[in-house]
Structure 1
Protein backbone atom coordinates (compact mmCIF):
# COMPACT_ATOMS: atom_id res chain seq x y z
CA UNK A 1 0.00 0.00 0.00
CA UNK A 2 1.47 3.34 -1.03
CA UNK A 3 1.25 6.44 1.16
CA UNK A 4 -0.31 9.70 -0.05
CA UNK A 5 2.23 12.21 -1.38
CA UNK A 6 1.19 14.75 1.27
CA UNK A 7 2.12 12.30 4.02
CA UNK A 8 5.56 11.80 2.53
CA UNK A 9 6.17 15.55 2.63
CA UNK A 10 5.53 15.89 6.35
CA UNK A 11 8.52 17.11 8.40
CA UNK A 12 10.16 14.64 10.76
CA UNK A 13 9.36 14.93 14.49
CA UNK A 14 11.19 17.72 16.29
CA UNK A 15 14.38 16.33 17.82
CA UNK A 16 16.99 19.07 18.15
CA UNK A 17 20.65 18.27 18.26
CA UNK A 18 22.50 18.29 21.56
CA UNK A 19 23.94 21.73 20.80
CA UNK A 20 20.53 23.18 19.92
CA UNK A 21 18.93 21.79 23.05
CA UNK A 22 21.76 23.00 25.26
CA UNK A 23 21.46 26.47 23.75
CA UNK A 24 17.73 26.53 24.44
CA UNK A 25 18.25 25.43 28.01
CA UNK A 26 20.93 28.05 28.63
CA UNK A 27 18.65 30.77 27.22
CA UNK A 28 15.91 29.71 29.63
CA UNK A 29 18.31 29.54 32.55
CA UNK A 30 19.63 33.02 31.77
CA UNK A 31 16.29 34.60 32.69
CA UNK A 32 16.56 36.83 35.82
CA UNK A 33 14.19 34.84 38.01
CA UNK A 34 16.67 31.97 38.15
CA UNK A 35 19.46 34.17 39.53
CA UNK A 36 17.91 35.44 42.74
CA UNK A 37 19.79 33.25 45.22
CA UNK A 38 22.94 31.17 45.51
CA UNK A 39 20.79 28.06 45.72
CA UNK A 40 19.20 28.76 42.35
CA UNK A 41 22.60 29.49 40.85
CA UNK A 42 23.80 26.08 42.01
CA UNK A 43 20.66 24.49 40.59
CA UNK A 44 21.27 26.25 37.29
CA UNK A 45 24.86 24.95 37.15
CA UNK A 46 23.76 21.44 38.06
CA UNK A 47 21.08 21.34 35.39
CA UNK A 48 23.49 22.54 32.72
CA UNK A 49 26.03 19.89 33.73
CA UNK A 50 23.31 17.26 33.85
CA UNK A 51 22.14 18.13 30.37
CA UNK A 52 25.67 18.31 28.97
CA UNK A 53 26.73 14.98 30.46
CA UNK A 54 23.68 12.81 30.56
CA UNK A 55 20.56 13.84 28.71
CA UNK A 56 21.70 12.79 25.28
CA UNK A 57 22.81 9.35 26.45
CA UNK A 58 19.55 8.85 28.36
CA UNK A 59 17.62 9.82 25.26
CA UNK A 60 19.53 7.31 23.16
CA UNK A 61 18.92 4.50 25.64
CA UNK A 62 15.28 5.13 26.42
CA UNK A 63 14.07 6.31 23.06
CA UNK A 64 12.74 9.53 24.60
CA UNK A 65 13.37 12.46 22.24
CA UNK A 66 15.79 15.05 23.60
CA UNK A 67 13.27 17.84 23.09
CA UNK A 68 10.84 16.15 25.51
CA UNK A 69 13.51 16.04 28.19
CA UNK A 70 14.27 19.67 27.47
CA UNK A 71 10.59 20.59 27.88
CA UNK A 72 10.48 18.77 31.20
CA UNK A 73 13.53 20.66 32.44
CA UNK A 74 12.17 24.01 31.28
CA UNK A 75 8.84 23.27 32.96
CA UNK A 76 10.66 22.50 36.20
CA UNK A 77 12.56 25.77 36.01
CA UNK A 78 9.40 27.77 35.33
CA UNK A 79 7.81 26.22 38.43
CA UNK A 80 10.87 27.09 40.50
CA UNK A 81 10.81 30.66 39.19
CA UNK A 82 7.16 31.01 40.21
CA UNK A 83 7.91 29.75 43.72
CA UNK A 84 10.86 32.14 44.06
CA UNK A 85 8.72 35.08 42.98
CA UNK A 86 6.08 34.22 45.58
CA UNK A 87 8.75 33.77 48.25
CA UNK A 88 10.23 37.18 47.49
CA UNK A 89 6.81 38.85 47.82
CA UNK A 90 6.26 37.07 51.15
CA UNK A 91 9.68 38.16 52.36
CA UNK A 92 9.01 41.78 51.43
CA UNK A 93 5.77 41.76 53.43
CA UNK A 94 7.45 40.14 56.43
CA UNK A 95 10.46 42.49 56.35
CA UNK A 96 8.31 45.62 56.55
CA UNK A 97 8.73 45.32 60.31
CA UNK A 98 12.47 45.94 59.95
CA UNK A 99 13.95 49.13 61.48
CA UNK A 100 13.92 52.17 59.20
CA UNK A 101 17.23 53.43 60.56
CA UNK A 102 20.46 51.58 59.87
CA UNK A 103 23.14 50.57 62.37
CA UNK A 104 25.65 53.10 61.04
CA UNK A 105 26.74 55.96 63.28
CA UNK A 106 25.81 59.07 61.32
CA UNK A 107 24.32 62.48 62.00
CA UNK A 108 21.25 64.05 60.47
CA UNK A 109 23.44 66.59 58.69
CA UNK A 110 25.51 63.81 57.13
CA UNK A 111 22.40 61.93 56.06
CA UNK A 112 20.94 65.05 54.48
CA UNK A 113 24.20 65.80 52.66
CA UNK A 114 24.23 62.26 51.34
CA UNK A 115 20.61 62.57 50.24
CA UNK A 116 21.29 65.85 48.43
CA UNK A 117 24.29 64.32 46.66
CA UNK A 118 22.21 61.32 45.57
CA UNK A 119 19.48 63.66 44.32
CA UNK A 120 21.99 65.62 42.24
CA UNK A 121 23.32 62.36 40.76
CA UNK A 122 19.86 61.10 39.85
CA UNK A 123 19.83 58.32 42.47
CA UNK A 124 16.35 59.12 43.66
CA UNK A 125 15.82 55.96 45.70
CA UNK A 126 18.94 56.64 47.79
CA UNK A 127 18.01 60.31 48.05
CA UNK A 128 14.55 59.60 49.42
CA UNK A 129 15.66 56.94 51.89
CA UNK A 130 18.44 59.10 53.33
CA UNK A 131 16.19 62.16 53.39
CA UNK A 132 13.59 60.36 55.51
CA UNK A 133 16.28 59.03 57.83
CA UNK A 134 17.78 62.51 58.13
CA UNK A 135 14.34 63.86 59.02
CA UNK A 136 13.90 61.32 61.82
CA UNK A 137 17.45 61.51 63.18
CA UNK A 138 17.33 65.31 63.26
CA UNK A 139 14.28 65.24 65.52
CA UNK A 140 15.96 62.68 67.78
CA UNK A 141 19.03 64.91 67.99
CA UNK A 142 16.77 67.83 68.92
CA UNK A 143 15.00 65.74 71.60
CA UNK A 144 11.70 66.31 69.84
CA UNK A 145 11.02 62.59 69.53
CA UNK A 146 12.30 59.61 71.44
CA UNK A 147 15.31 57.69 70.15
CA UNK A 148 13.76 54.52 68.73
CA UNK A 149 16.54 52.64 66.89
CA UNK A 150 14.33 49.61 66.16
CA UNK A 151 11.33 51.63 64.98
CA UNK A 152 9.78 51.09 61.56
CA UNK A 153 9.16 54.01 59.24
CA UNK A 154 5.54 54.22 60.34
CA UNK A 155 6.44 54.05 64.02
CA UNK A 156 8.79 56.96 63.47
CA UNK A 157 6.05 58.73 61.53
CA UNK A 158 3.66 58.28 64.46
CA UNK A 159 6.14 59.92 66.83
CA UNK A 160 6.83 62.72 64.37
CA UNK A 161 3.12 63.22 63.77
CA UNK A 162 2.54 63.65 67.50
CA UNK A 163 5.24 66.33 67.66
CA UNK A 164 4.21 68.06 64.43
CA UNK A 165 0.45 67.66 64.23
CA UNK A 166 0.10 70.10 61.36
CA UNK A 167 2.44 68.01 59.22
CA UNK A 168 1.06 64.59 60.14
CA UNK A 169 -0.37 63.83 56.71
CA UNK A 170 2.86 64.70 54.90
CA UNK A 171 4.91 62.73 57.42
CA UNK A 172 2.74 59.64 56.96
CA UNK A 173 2.95 60.03 53.18
CA UNK A 174 6.75 60.22 53.44
CA UNK A 175 6.75 57.01 55.50
CA UNK A 176 4.52 55.28 52.93
CA UNK A 177 6.88 56.29 50.12
CA UNK A 178 9.91 55.23 52.18
CA UNK A 179 8.49 51.71 52.58
CA UNK A 180 7.45 51.49 48.93
CA UNK A 181 10.98 52.38 47.81
CA UNK A 182 12.86 50.37 50.43
CA UNK A 183 10.93 47.17 49.80
CA UNK A 184 10.94 47.42 46.03
CA UNK A 185 7.28 48.19 45.37
CA UNK A 186 8.15 51.16 43.18
CA UNK A 187 11.11 53.50 42.52
CA UNK A 188 11.28 57.02 43.89
CA UNK A 189 10.92 60.08 41.71
CA UNK A 190 12.88 63.30 41.92
CA UNK A 191 9.76 65.09 43.15
CA UNK A 192 9.21 62.59 45.97
CA UNK A 193 12.81 62.78 47.18
CA UNK A 194 12.73 66.58 47.01
CA UNK A 195 9.47 66.64 48.97
CA UNK A 196 10.99 64.66 51.85
CA UNK A 197 14.03 66.94 51.89
CA UNK A 198 11.70 69.95 51.99
CA UNK A 199 9.74 68.39 54.85
CA UNK A 200 12.96 67.84 56.79
CA UNK A 201 13.89 71.49 56.29
CA UNK A 202 10.47 72.67 57.48
CA UNK A 203 10.41 70.48 60.58
CA UNK A 204 13.91 71.46 61.60
CA UNK A 205 12.80 75.09 61.93
CA UNK A 206 9.58 74.46 63.86
CA UNK A 207 9.04 74.50 67.59
CA UNK A 208 7.35 71.50 69.11
CA UNK A 209 3.65 71.92 69.76
CA UNK A 210 2.77 70.81 73.26
Structure 2
Protein backbone atom coordinates (compact mmCIF):
# COMPACT_ATOMS: atom_id res chain seq x y z
CA UNK A 1 0.00 0.00 0.00
CA UNK A 2 2.83 2.38 0.83
CA UNK A 3 4.56 1.69 -2.46
CA UNK A 4 1.36 2.24 -4.41
CA UNK A 5 0.75 5.58 -2.65
CA UNK A 6 4.30 6.76 -3.32
CA UNK A 7 4.03 5.87 -6.96
CA UNK A 8 0.93 7.99 -7.30
CA UNK A 9 2.88 11.06 -6.08
CA UNK A 10 5.48 10.81 -8.85
CA UNK A 11 4.98 13.14 -11.85
CA UNK A 12 3.71 11.47 -15.02
CA UNK A 13 6.49 10.37 -17.36
CA UNK A 14 4.50 11.36 -20.48
CA UNK A 15 2.56 14.65 -19.90
CA UNK A 16 -0.48 15.36 -21.99
CA UNK A 17 -0.53 18.23 -24.55
CA UNK A 18 -1.80 20.89 -22.10
CA UNK A 19 0.74 19.95 -19.47
CA UNK A 20 3.60 20.01 -22.00
CA UNK A 21 2.52 23.44 -23.29
CA UNK A 22 2.47 24.80 -19.73
CA UNK A 23 5.97 23.46 -19.07
CA UNK A 24 7.29 25.12 -22.24
CA UNK A 25 5.69 28.49 -21.34
CA UNK A 26 7.06 28.31 -17.80
CA UNK A 27 10.53 27.60 -19.17
CA UNK A 28 10.42 30.48 -21.67
CA UNK A 29 9.27 32.87 -18.92
CA UNK A 30 12.53 32.42 -17.01
CA UNK A 31 14.68 35.66 -16.77
CA UNK A 32 17.52 34.35 -18.94
CA UNK A 33 15.13 33.84 -21.84
CA UNK A 34 13.45 37.23 -21.35
CA UNK A 35 16.85 38.99 -21.37
CA UNK A 36 17.72 37.40 -24.71
CA UNK A 37 14.64 38.78 -26.43
CA UNK A 38 15.33 41.63 -28.92
CA UNK A 39 14.34 45.12 -27.79
CA UNK A 40 12.07 47.45 -29.74
CA UNK A 41 15.18 49.33 -30.94
CA UNK A 42 16.73 46.06 -32.16
CA UNK A 43 13.58 45.19 -34.09
CA UNK A 44 13.38 48.68 -35.64
CA UNK A 45 17.06 48.63 -36.63
CA UNK A 46 16.67 45.19 -38.17
CA UNK A 47 13.61 46.35 -40.11
CA UNK A 48 15.55 49.33 -41.49
CA UNK A 49 18.50 47.11 -42.47
CA UNK A 50 16.18 44.66 -44.20
CA UNK A 51 14.42 47.50 -46.03
CA UNK A 52 17.72 48.97 -47.27
CA UNK A 53 18.94 45.52 -48.32
CA UNK A 54 15.71 44.83 -50.24
CA UNK A 55 15.88 48.29 -51.79
CA UNK A 56 19.37 47.89 -53.19
CA UNK A 57 18.92 44.25 -54.15
CA UNK A 58 16.30 45.43 -56.62
CA UNK A 59 17.94 48.76 -57.44
CA UNK A 60 18.95 47.55 -60.87
CA UNK A 61 15.39 47.92 -62.06
CA UNK A 62 14.93 51.45 -60.72
CA UNK A 63 15.48 54.44 -62.99
CA UNK A 64 18.38 56.65 -61.91
CA UNK A 65 16.22 59.67 -60.84
CA UNK A 66 14.07 57.43 -58.66
CA UNK A 67 17.16 55.88 -57.07
CA UNK A 68 18.60 59.32 -56.32
CA UNK A 69 15.28 60.38 -54.79
CA UNK A 70 15.34 57.35 -52.51
CA UNK A 71 18.93 58.06 -51.46
CA UNK A 72 18.20 61.73 -50.74
CA UNK A 73 15.11 60.80 -48.73
CA UNK A 74 17.14 58.31 -46.72
CA UNK A 75 19.81 60.94 -46.05
CA UNK A 76 17.19 63.43 -44.86
CA UNK A 77 15.72 60.82 -42.52
CA UNK A 78 19.16 60.10 -41.06
CA UNK A 79 19.82 63.82 -40.52
CA UNK A 80 16.48 64.29 -38.78
CA UNK A 81 17.14 61.29 -36.54
CA UNK A 82 20.59 62.68 -35.72
CA UNK A 83 19.13 66.05 -34.78
CA UNK A 84 16.51 64.42 -32.59
CA UNK A 85 19.13 62.33 -30.83
CA UNK A 86 21.96 64.86 -30.49
CA UNK A 87 20.09 68.16 -30.67
CA UNK A 88 20.74 71.18 -32.84
CA UNK A 89 24.46 72.10 -32.81
CA UNK A 90 23.66 75.80 -32.46
CA UNK A 91 21.49 75.19 -29.41
CA UNK A 92 24.12 72.95 -27.89
CA UNK A 93 26.80 75.60 -28.40
CA UNK A 94 24.59 78.22 -26.82
CA UNK A 95 23.92 75.99 -23.81
CA UNK A 96 27.63 75.23 -23.32
CA UNK A 97 28.57 78.86 -23.83
CA UNK A 98 26.24 79.96 -21.03
CA UNK A 99 28.38 78.26 -18.38
CA UNK A 100 30.00 80.88 -16.07
CA UNK A 101 33.76 81.31 -16.40
CA UNK A 102 36.06 81.07 -13.38
CA UNK A 103 33.20 80.80 -10.86
CA UNK A 104 32.28 84.49 -11.01
CA UNK A 105 28.97 84.27 -12.88
CA UNK A 106 30.27 85.75 -16.15
CA UNK A 107 28.16 84.29 -18.98
CA UNK A 108 28.93 86.86 -21.71
CA UNK A 109 29.60 85.45 -25.16
CA UNK A 110 32.95 85.71 -26.92
CA UNK A 111 31.92 88.60 -29.18
CA UNK A 112 30.78 90.70 -26.22
CA UNK A 113 33.96 89.96 -24.30
CA UNK A 114 36.14 90.90 -27.26
CA UNK A 115 34.30 94.21 -27.63
CA UNK A 116 34.78 94.91 -23.92
CA UNK A 117 38.48 94.07 -24.19
CA UNK A 118 38.95 96.37 -27.19
CA UNK A 119 37.18 99.22 -25.37
CA UNK A 120 39.41 98.77 -22.31
CA UNK A 121 42.51 98.69 -24.52
CA UNK A 122 41.50 101.95 -26.24
CA UNK A 123 41.11 103.51 -22.79
CA UNK A 124 44.56 102.26 -21.75
CA UNK A 125 43.11 100.05 -18.99
CA UNK A 126 45.48 97.15 -19.60
CA UNK A 127 44.52 95.01 -16.58
CA UNK A 128 40.85 95.01 -17.63
CA UNK A 129 41.75 94.60 -21.31
CA UNK A 130 43.93 91.55 -20.58
CA UNK A 131 41.32 90.00 -18.32
CA UNK A 132 38.50 90.49 -20.81
CA UNK A 133 40.53 89.23 -23.78
CA UNK A 134 41.57 86.06 -22.00
CA UNK A 135 37.94 85.47 -21.07
CA UNK A 136 37.01 85.97 -24.73
CA UNK A 137 39.65 83.44 -25.78
CA UNK A 138 38.29 80.84 -23.36
CA UNK A 139 34.66 81.59 -24.18
CA UNK A 140 35.36 81.18 -27.87
CA UNK A 141 36.77 77.70 -27.28
CA UNK A 142 33.82 76.80 -25.04
CA UNK A 143 31.34 77.95 -27.70
CA UNK A 144 33.11 75.73 -30.23
CA UNK A 145 32.87 72.84 -27.74
CA UNK A 146 36.64 72.37 -27.79
CA UNK A 147 36.97 72.77 -24.01
CA UNK A 148 34.57 72.48 -21.09
CA UNK A 149 34.26 74.66 -18.03
CA UNK A 150 33.86 72.94 -14.67
CA UNK A 151 33.40 74.46 -11.20
CA UNK A 152 36.77 75.52 -9.87
CA UNK A 153 38.47 75.57 -13.29
CA UNK A 154 41.42 77.99 -13.23
CA UNK A 155 43.01 79.98 -16.01
CA UNK A 156 45.93 77.55 -16.10
CA UNK A 157 43.47 74.64 -16.16
CA UNK A 158 41.76 76.17 -19.19
CA UNK A 159 45.13 76.72 -20.87
CA UNK A 160 46.01 73.05 -20.36
CA UNK A 161 42.60 71.98 -21.73
CA UNK A 162 42.97 74.24 -24.78
CA UNK A 163 46.42 72.80 -25.47
CA UNK A 164 44.82 69.41 -26.24
CA UNK A 165 43.13 70.53 -29.50
CA UNK A 166 45.89 73.12 -30.13
CA UNK A 167 49.17 71.58 -28.90
CA UNK A 168 51.28 73.95 -31.01
CA UNK A 169 49.93 76.86 -28.93
CA UNK A 170 50.50 75.27 -25.50
CA UNK A 171 53.33 77.63 -24.44
CA UNK A 172 51.46 80.78 -25.49
CA UNK A 173 48.27 79.58 -23.80
CA UNK A 174 50.14 79.09 -20.55
CA UNK A 175 51.71 82.56 -20.86
CA UNK A 176 48.27 84.10 -21.47
CA UNK A 177 46.89 82.35 -18.37
CA UNK A 178 49.81 83.74 -16.34
CA UNK A 179 49.10 87.27 -17.60
CA UNK A 180 45.44 86.83 -16.65
CA UNK A 181 46.34 85.71 -13.12
CA UNK A 182 48.81 88.59 -12.77
CA UNK A 183 46.23 91.31 -13.43
CA UNK A 184 43.26 89.58 -11.79
CA UNK A 185 44.77 88.18 -8.60
CA UNK A 186 48.12 89.92 -8.15
CA UNK A 187 46.92 93.44 -9.10
CA UNK A 188 49.73 93.93 -11.61
CA UNK A 189 49.50 96.69 -14.20
CA UNK A 190 49.76 94.58 -17.33
CA UNK A 191 50.93 96.14 -20.58
CA UNK A 192 49.92 96.85 -24.15
CA UNK A 193 52.35 94.18 -25.32
CA UNK A 194 50.81 91.54 -23.04
CA UNK A 195 47.33 92.44 -24.24
CA UNK A 196 48.33 92.28 -27.91
CA UNK A 197 49.90 88.84 -27.41
CA UNK A 198 46.65 87.48 -25.94
CA UNK A 199 44.56 89.20 -28.63
CA UNK A 200 46.73 87.74 -31.39
CA UNK A 201 46.51 84.28 -29.82
CA UNK A 202 42.73 84.62 -29.59
CA UNK A 203 42.52 85.54 -33.29
CA UNK A 204 44.75 82.66 -34.32
CA UNK A 205 42.79 80.10 -32.31
CA UNK A 206 39.48 81.40 -33.67
CA UNK A 207 40.77 80.86 -37.21
CA UNK A 208 42.50 77.53 -36.52
CA UNK A 209 41.26 73.99 -37.05
CA UNK A 210 41.83 71.66 -34.08
CA UNK A 211 44.55 69.07 -34.57
CA UNK A 212 42.19 66.07 -34.60
CA UNK A 213 39.91 67.61 -37.25
CA UNK A 214 42.96 68.58 -39.30
CA UNK A 215 44.34 65.03 -39.15
CA UNK A 216 40.97 63.57 -40.19
CA UNK A 217 40.75 65.98 -43.12
CA UNK A 218 44.29 65.10 -44.24
CA UNK A 219 43.54 61.38 -43.96
CA UNK A 220 40.38 61.77 -46.03
CA UNK A 221 42.26 63.83 -48.65
CA UNK A 222 45.00 61.22 -48.89
CA UNK A 223 42.38 58.49 -49.31
CA UNK A 224 40.78 60.39 -52.20
CA UNK A 225 44.14 60.88 -53.93
CA UNK A 226 44.94 57.20 -53.59
Structure 1-normalised TM-score? 0.51
CA distance in 2, matches of 1:129, 1:172: 14
Deviation per CA, 1:27-55, whole angstroms, max 9, x where unpaired?
A: xxxxxxxxxxxxxxxxxxxxxxxxxxxxx
Alignment of 1:112-131 (within 5 A): 112-131=114-133
The 8 Å contact of residues 181 and 188 in structure 1, kept in 2 or not, is answered as yes
- 1:168 maps onto 2:180 in alignment: no
- Residue in structure 2 matching 1:206, options 205, 208, 212: 208
Per-residue CA deviations over 1:98-152 (Å, capped at 9, x if unaligned) read x636303210110010000100010000000000000000000011112335310
SS at match of 1:162: coil
Q: In the alignment, what sits opposite 1:69?
A: none
Tell me the number of residue pairs that the alignment of Structure 1 and Structure 2 aligns.
112
- Residue 158 of structure 1 pairs with residue 141 of structure 2: no
> Is the alpha carbon distance of 1:172 and 1:110 closer, same or farther for their aligned partners in structure 2, counting shifts above 3 Å?
same
CA contact (8 A) 2:183 2:190 kept: yes
Alignment check: 8 A CA contact 1:132 1:174 kept:
yes
Q: Which residue in the other structure is 2:113 paired with?
A: 111
Unaligned 5+ segments in structure 1 are: 1-98
Matched ranges for 1:16-27 at <5 A: none
Q: Matched residues in 1 for 2:176 and 2:203: separation?
A: 14
Structure 2-normalised TM-score?
0.47
RCO (CA 8 Å, sep 6+): is it higher in 1 or 2?
Answer: 1
1:161-197 deviation line (CA, Å, top 9, x unaligned): 1111000000000001111111125211011011111
Instruction: Judge conservation of contact 1:101–1:133 (CA < 8 Å) in 2.
Output: no
Cα separation, 1, equivalents of 2:159 and 2:107: 21
> 1:63 is matched with which residue?
none
- Residue 198 of structure 2 is matched in structure 1 by 196
Whether contact under 8 Å (1:132, 1:178) holds in the other structure is yes
Match of 1:142 in 2: 144
Q: Please give the secondary structure, in 1, of the residue aligned with 2:163.
A: helix
For structure 2, the residue ranges without an aligned partner over 5 or more in a row are 1-100, 213-226
**Partner-residue secondary structure (3-state), 1:192:** helix
